Chain A
């Protein structure tokens, strides 16, 4: 069909945190910017999210956690992707995440981390840039 490529992304909520307002808002905003968004719902394990990302062949994985468990959970998603030879799928994350954690998460392979109040436009731009790569 040869039309222009449609970007596919996955929005996931690893761990037990049920606050999905932000994740759902971002999923909608991405859809309204032309993305196809796979939403996993709340309370998923990192492994489940990684496998869904692989099966859906998404271009980017976006994670949200507000419970403070981001260090463990985001890292585990990155590792699970690596384990299944899919480390080329970039992972980004958002939530209540202190600055010092952001540095550490980047070291562990999370491409970008957003904190509360980040304009939607900026988040979508990041998704688009990573999809284009």
Chain B
């Protein structure tokens, strides 16, 4: 598939072209800039990006699958980016989230893509940002980013979203503590899933206290039965609309773009620097900080000779 037909294919909502475009972004193909420049800026601007995050076992992918189902009942075309951690040892990953979304496989208006963290800190956010723009250009609105809320890269990526829901569930034990430590700050809404369990009420009360201070809402869902899903979606949409009115959405997006630019730059420079360092045979006895500084000075000199 050549780049021209991929660009056209995105406009035509061709699943193959969209999928190919995402792969190009992920692999840093040389045609990426041409591709990304061709995207529809208006759709990108108007597409809502929602984040669903939380500890493992909270029921995120089931919930996401049900939100997708609900959005389809409203006639909306939906994009889903499901993020899974890569193995730090092999670099591989298993994407199992599709299991709970397979019922949407045959629906051409549900575009699901699994992405692995691939050990890149900023790089993943950069890629995911570009993937969101591709999906938006192909007419997806909203886009849902689903990710496990552990580790810095997963927390960073959720900042791409305009509105983020933090999903928890009773019976997850220590993970709830971790959640309080890291994810609360990015959450616009808190969800207590598996609300049919007896311990759910207690968790909801516990979270409400924290939520009150932040001015966020706590919503109960039973993802499995689809209960509370509509309420959750509309709450997210409400917050998005308010952000648009107040102008905070645009400010947030610019912040996110600034960060993405930095991430892209680092990702682009990295191979060059790695090459330089790799071919170093002297200087290795010097202090690494000193060597790094001289490399950066060299880069600056190249720019301003």
Chain A directly contacts chain B within the complex, with at least one CB pair under 8 Å = yes
Cross-chain contact B28 with A51 (CB below 8 angstroms): no
Cross-chain contact A51 with B105 (CB below 8 angstroms): yes
Within the assembled complex, what's the spacing in Å between the Cα atoms of A1 and B22?
13
Closest residue of chain A to B84 (Cβ to Cβ) is: A36
Chain B positions 14 through 56: 1 when the CB is less than 8 Å from some CB of chain A, otherwise 0: 0110111011001110000000000000000000000000000
Total count of chain A residues near the partner, CB < 8 A: 33
Cross-chain contact A1 with B120 (CB below 8 angstroms): yes
Least CB distance, A43 to chain B, in whole angstroms: 9
Given known A-B contacts A57-B20, A84-B16, A39 and B99 have beta carbons under 8 A apart: yes
Quick check: which of B90-98, B152-160, B183-191, B207-215 contacts chain A, the rest being far away?
B90-98
Given known A-B contacts A48-B102, A51-B106, A27 and B94 have beta carbons under 8 A apart: yes
The interface centre, meaning the residue of A1, A27, A39, A56 with most chain B CB atoms within 10 A of its CB, is: A1
Cross-chain contact B87 with A48 (CB below 8 angstroms): no
List A contacts of B89 (CB < 8 A): 32
Within the assembled complex, what's the spacing in Å between the Cα atoms of A90 and B280?
42
List B contacts of A35 (CB < 8 A): 92
Cross-chain contact B106 with A36 (CB below 8 angstroms): no
List B contacts of A47 (CB < 8 A): 105-106
Say yes or no: is B114 at the interface (Cβ < 8 Å to chain A).
Answer: yes
List A contacts of B91 (CB < 8 A): 6, 34
Which of under 10, 10 to 19, 20 to 34, or 35 or more describes the interface residues of B?
A: 35 or more
Interface residues of A in 43-59 (CB under 8 A from B): 44, 47-49, 51-52, 54-57
Say yes or no: is B118 at the interface (Cβ < 8 Å to chain A).
Answer: yes
Given known A-B contacts A1-B270, A54-B16, A28 and B94 have beta carbons under 8 A apart: yes
Within the assembled complex, what's the spacing in Å between the Cα atoms of A86 and B214?
49
Say yes or no: is A5 at the interface (Cβ < 8 Å to chain B).
Answer: yes
Within the assembled complex, what's the spacing in Å between the Cα atoms of A109 and B245?
56
Contact of B94 among A3, A37, A48, A85 (CB under 8 A): A37
Could you pull out 17 A-B pairs where Cβ atoms are within 8 angstroms? A1-B127, A1-B268, A6-B91, A31-B87, A31-B90, A37-B92, A41-B96, A44-B102, A47-B106, A52-B102, A55-B111, A55-B112, A56-B19, A56-B95, A57-B16, A57-B20, A57-B23
Interface, chain A (partner B; CB < 8 A): 1-3, 5-6, 8, 27-28, 30-41, 44, 47-49, 51-52, 54-57, 84-86
